[in-house]
């Protein structure tokens, strides 16, 4: 059963060690992944914490959802499966050249 938790509304100064120490109060912490910006390395304000089992994960949600850490109220819930993301340059369902030029507002380019 899934035991990975989403932890949101983190202060940018929160570290993986801070999260590991906090969540160890609810059980075994298998992994902590603090999500950071690829370019700047700055925290994006959320993380994923994997607990040892489902029971510990539920306990962590009960204990830490709404918990105040670094003057921020944490959001803790079960992590949703990662959604498939389209590859680079995929079709986004529209004309990439801007507005629709075939439907002119002036009566379809008629000259009177």
Q: Which domain holds residue 52?
A: 4-78
Tens-digit pLDDT profile for residues 53-65? 999 999 999 999 9
pLDDT of the residue at 84: 81
- Residue 101 domain flag: no
Indicate the number of domains in the chain.
Answer: 1
Task: Work out the average pLDDT over 70-77.
Answer: 96
* pLDDT on residue 24: 98
Q: Find the mean pLDDT for residues 30-42.
A: 96
Please give the C-alpha separations between residue 88 and each of 18, 35, 39, 51, 65, in angstroms, as whole numbers: 35, 21, 18, 33, 36
pLDDT in tens, 86-95: 766 555 555 5
pLDDT at 11 over 60: yes
Looking up residue 70, the CATH number of its domain turns out to be 3.30.70.330
> What span, in angstroms and rounded, lies between the C-alpha atoms of 13 and 29?
20
With respect to residue 16, please indicate whether it lies within any of the assigned structural domains. yes
Residue 71 falls inside a structural domain: yes
In a domain, residue 96? The reply is: no
In a domain, 100, yes or no: no
What pLDDT, on the 0 to 100 scale, is given for residue 82? 81
């Amino acid at each position: 059963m899934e035991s990975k938790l989403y932890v949101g509304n983190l202060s940018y100064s929160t570290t993986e060690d801070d999260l590991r120490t906090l969540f160890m109060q609810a059980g075994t912490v298998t992994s902590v992944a603090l999500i950071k910006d690829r370019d700047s390395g700055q925290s994006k304000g959320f993380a994923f914490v994997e607990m040892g089992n489902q029971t510990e994960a539920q306990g962590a949600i009960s204990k830490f959802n709404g918990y105040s850490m670094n003057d921020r109220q944490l959001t803790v819930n079960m992590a949703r499966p990662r959604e498939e993301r389209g590859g680079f340059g995929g079709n986004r369902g529209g004309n990439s050249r801007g507005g629709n030029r075939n439907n002119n507002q002036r009566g379809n380019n008629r000259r009177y």
